[in-house]
Amino acid sequence: MKIFYSSASPYSTKVRMAAHFAGLAAQSVSADTNADPAELLAANPLGKIPTLVTDEGLAVYDSRAIMNYIDRQTKGTLYPRNAAKRTEVDILEATADGICDSLLAIVYERRSRPEEKVHQPWIDRQWQKVERALDHLEENMPRLGKKPNAGHFALAAMLRYIELRFAGKWQRGRPKLKRFLSRFEAVFPDYAQFKD
């Protein structure tokens, strides 16, 4: 089994950490989406990462479909069985992924346009979403027991990414979020392998 990924991609970090935690043997294959690698495009017409390809050649994308696939393959390692708890985890994952969507929209806006065409109001609107969602998380910090779930992996991947691309711009007034990665590492010590 393979997972096409890039080390900067937060959705890739989420699924790679989750696969590792769940004990699903998957080889991580680095992919530069800008170069449209043939093997990736053959698996995923959208040319996006993460994309998981099983030994039988089944391609699974996007990251939430991959998380659900890992969960089914490993007898429910990532999501709680209880319906109400499951909904909570789904919403946490959606919030963390949604923050990543806005962060990526900002990064792509700056990276793909000539400087004079960068539309600052679009960037500001995306950043407002990020700020609101971070404040929401700070006020509603998810409980973290002995075992991380899909929501915790999504939150950790998002925090790693925001620190990578927006270092020093998100922690102020958010002490609980700031502490989360060290708490997460205490229950998932192998996080060290995914940090850099």
Q: Using CB under 6 A as the criterion, which residues of the chain lie in contact with ligand GSH when the complex forms? A: 9, 11, 33, 47-50, 62-64, 97, 104
Cβ atoms of 43 and 36 within 8 Å: the answer is: no
Give the integer Cα–Cα distance in Å for 135 and 131: 6
Fill in the amino acid letter for 88.
E
Say how far apart CA 28 and CA 192 lie, in whole Å.
16
User: Of 82 and 100, which has the nearer Cβ to ligand GSH?
Assistant: 100
Which residue, 62, 7, 11, is CA-closest to 29?
7
Q: Enter the DSSP assignment of 113.
A: S
Min dist CB 94 to ligand GSH, Å, is 10
**CB of residue 89 to ligand GSH, shortest distance in Å:** 16
Tokens of 26: 């998957």
Nearer to ligand GSH, 50 or 142 (CB): 50
Q: Cβ 189 to ligand GSH, closest distance in Å? A: 25
Residues 99, 64 contacting (CB under 8 angstroms): no
Q: Which is nearer to ligand GSH, 22 or 104 (CB)?
A: 104
Tokens of 155: 């939150």
- Going by C-alpha positions, the residue among 21, 27, 28 that lies closest to residue 74 is 21
Q: Toward ligand GSH, which CB reaches closer, 110 or 179?
A: 110
CB of 47 or CB of 187, closer to ligand GSH: 47
Q: How far is the CB of 178 from ligand GSH (least distance, A)?
A: 23
In the bound state with ligand GSH, the residue whose beta carbon lies nearer, of 48 and 183, is 48
* Contact predicate 149/142, CB 8 Å: no
What is the nearest approach in angstroms of ligand GSH to the Cβ of residue 179? Answer: 25
32 membership: H or E segment, kind and range:
none
CB of 75 to ligand GSH, least distance (A): 23
